Amino acid sequence: MDRENYAISMRGITKRFGEVVANDGICLDVRWGEILALLGENGSGKTTLMNMLSGIYQPDEGEIYEDGERIYIQSPRDAYANGIGMIHQHYKLVEVFTAAQNIILGLDDGKMDLRQTNARVKEICDRYGFDIDPTMKVYDMSVSQKQTVEIVKVLYRGAKILILDEPTAVLTPQETVKLFNVLRNMKADGKAIIIITHKLNEVMEVSDRVSVLRKGCYIGTVETAETSPQALTDMMVGHAVTLNIDRPKYDNPQRKFIVEHLTCVDAEGITRLDDVSFTANTGEILGIAGISGSGQKELLEAMTGLYPVKSGSIRFIDDAGEEVELVGKTPMQIRKTGVGMAFVPEDRLGMGLVGSMGMTGNMMLRSWKKGRGALLRKKDPEALANRILDELEVVTPSTDYPVRRLSGGNVQKVLVGREIAIQPAVLLTAYAVRGLDINTSYTIYRLLTEQKMKGVAVVYVGEDLDVLMELCDRILVLCGGAVSGIVDARKAGKDEIGLMMTSTSAKGEAR
């Protein structure tokens, strides 16, 4: 390794997918013994660019140099041969294989000897400070263990250049700290590390330099020590976006939705929700935090009548102050009792919208009961679709264009627009900004806050703690299906919430 040369130098890389230019003449350099953060909004071309280093895609134009020498990467195999390893956002592991079997995939150095592999895996683990059992099946592993297997897999192949695609997206704060320590160890070992992320605090914490992409174009590279989150945000979005989310206070919050001792058990007998109690108030955004799979999905689905409830009570307080019991009712029965409940599910195109139908058709999913006889009445839904199109600035060729072909942000606007249009009393949202760019995310935050100020009880299940702490009024923290606490979002610290997300994990076996 020559310290004079860049570990990797990408020059004028262009990649097109049909009409779309995903990367436009991008240049990127990373040195040996350095952590480079690759920063950009969703859809800015970060992953595409890195996929060209790891051999998944091939550039249409441009040159790649490693240690000063031009290299050609035509397949993942070429990438490994050049010492480049990528840890993908969606782990590339065979679930039914053991860790060791996954690690040796694709290697052809002589006889298959799993015992020898296990020994080498141990050696790598000791060197950088992780811990995995090579004989464990991947399907028995936690997310963080799977990530460890991915990193060991890359190191096992002797990678000198590591690329990590959003490695912290699914980790708890504590696991993130551990991962960053490992990265620092590897950096001290002289490896070149590229980490793709859009979390500014992590960029500031772990990286040496930052390269910023915006809409497929290269914006620039700065030394982390000489920049600030505000300056990076400006580079990332092009114009200054106030990081502060507006959080007005609603004058007179009333109890609207009461959940008491809610317990749900899934088909396999595993307790998904364990004695959950809380209230949601009018004029308030109640945040729900937790590691993914802690019962968020089950909680929302139980509230909407989709998930079977074993015991407990879910009550809605109507305008007259009467309490309506919702447990045991189907979604249609709940609707008939006059409970105005809107639901923005996590799986937008699976549960929220019909992908191959247009906006109008999707509007009808909420109003089909209103028609008379066998024929559809299209006028009202069409008007609603057009209103949403104008108000939320949905980019689509027409209201009949299949929503599946719209970008993620536009899909979410259609869904949220439809749910808000019924003027709900309760609005449940699951990961409402997942996969959206910053501008659309803020549009969603604004819409939710508007609803809150109209006196709607909003429930916001989120994953980004920073957003939860700025957007919500109170935050309920779930851990292993149980409530580990409800905190005031204006006062709580991030560490405190992070700890609560893992605190009861020793108590139950539930994921």
Partner 1 sequence: MSMIISLIVAAVTFGTVLMFGTLGEILTEKSGNLNLGVEGIMYMGGAFGLAGAFYYEKAAGAAASGPVAIILAILCAFAAGALASAIYSFLTISLRTNQNVTGLALSIFGTGVGQFVGEFMRLSEGGYVALGNNLKDAFSARIWPDALVNIPVVGNILFSHTVFFYLAVVLAVAMHFFLGRTRWGLYLRAVGESPSTADAAGISITRYKYLATIAGGGISAIGGMVYIMTTAGCVWNHEGLSGVGWLAVALVIFCMWRPLNAIWGSVIFGAMMIMYLRVSIPFIPTEIYKILPYVVTVIVLIITSMRNSRDKQPPASLGLNYFREER
Q: Which of 19, 226, 251, 268 binds partner 1 (CB under 8 A)?
A: 268
Minimum CB distance to partner 1 smaller for 92 or for 215 = 92
| Alpha-carbon distance values, 476 to 245, 316, 447, 460, 511 (Å) | 19, 19, 21, 10, 18
Give 129-134's long-range contacts (Cβ < 8 A, gap of 24+).
129/181, 129/182, 129/185, 130/178, 130/182, 132/99, 133/99, 134/98, 134/99, 134/100, 134/103
DSSP sequence for 46-104: HHHHHHHHTTSS--SEEEEEETTEEE---SHHHHHHTTEEEE-SS----TTSBHHHHHT
Minimum CB distance to partner 1 smaller for 56 or for 351 = 56
Shortest distance in whole angstroms from residue 132 CB to partner 1: 17
Minimum CB distance to partner 1 smaller for 270 or for 453 = 270
Binding range to partner 1, per CB under 8 A, among 27-35, 103-111, 403-411, 482-490: 103-111
Q: Is residue 57 a contact point for partner 1 (CB under 8 A)?
A: yes
Q: Which of 6, 80, 128, 431 binds partner 1 (CB under 8 A)?
A: 80
Backbone angles phi and psi of 351, in degrees to 5: -110, -25
Crossing angle of helices 173-188/143-156, nearest 10°? 10
Q: Is residue 93 a contact point for partner 1 (CB under 8 A)?
A: yes
Binding mask 14-53 for partner 1 (x = CB under 8 A): ---x------------------------------------
**In contact, 143 and 170? CB cutoff 8 Å:** yes
Q: Is residue 92 a contact point for partner 1 (CB under 8 A)?
A: yes
User: How many of the chain's residues bind partner 1 (CB under 8 A)?
Assistant: 30
DSSP sequence for 447-480: HHHHHHHTT-EEEEE-S-HHHHHHH-SEEEEEET
Quick one: CA torsion of 227, 233, 237, 243, rounded to 10 degrees? -160
Binding range to partner 1, per CB under 8 A, among 91-99, 419-427, 429-437, 450-458: 91-99
Binding range to partner 1, per CB under 8 A, among 93-101, 356-364, 386-394, 502-510: 93-101
Cα atoms in the 13 Å half-sphere on the side-chain side of 403: 26
Q: Is residue 72 a contact point for partner 1 (CB under 8 A)?
A: no
Q: Which of 37, 49, 86, 232 binds partner 1 (CB under 8 A)?
A: 86
Q: Which of 97, 180, 307, 401 binds partner 1 (CB under 8 A)?
A: 97
How far is residue 243's CA from residue 475's CA, in Å, rounded to a whole number? 20
Binding range to partner 1, per CB under 8 A, among 78-86, 204-212, 275-283, 487-495: 78-86
Q: Is residue 1 a contact point for partner 1 (CB under 8 A)?
A: no
Q: Summarize as ranges the residues that interact with partner 1 (CB under 8 A).
A: 17, 54, 56-57, 75-77, 79-80, 86, 88, 92-97, 101-102, 104-108, 111-112, 137, 139, 153, 268
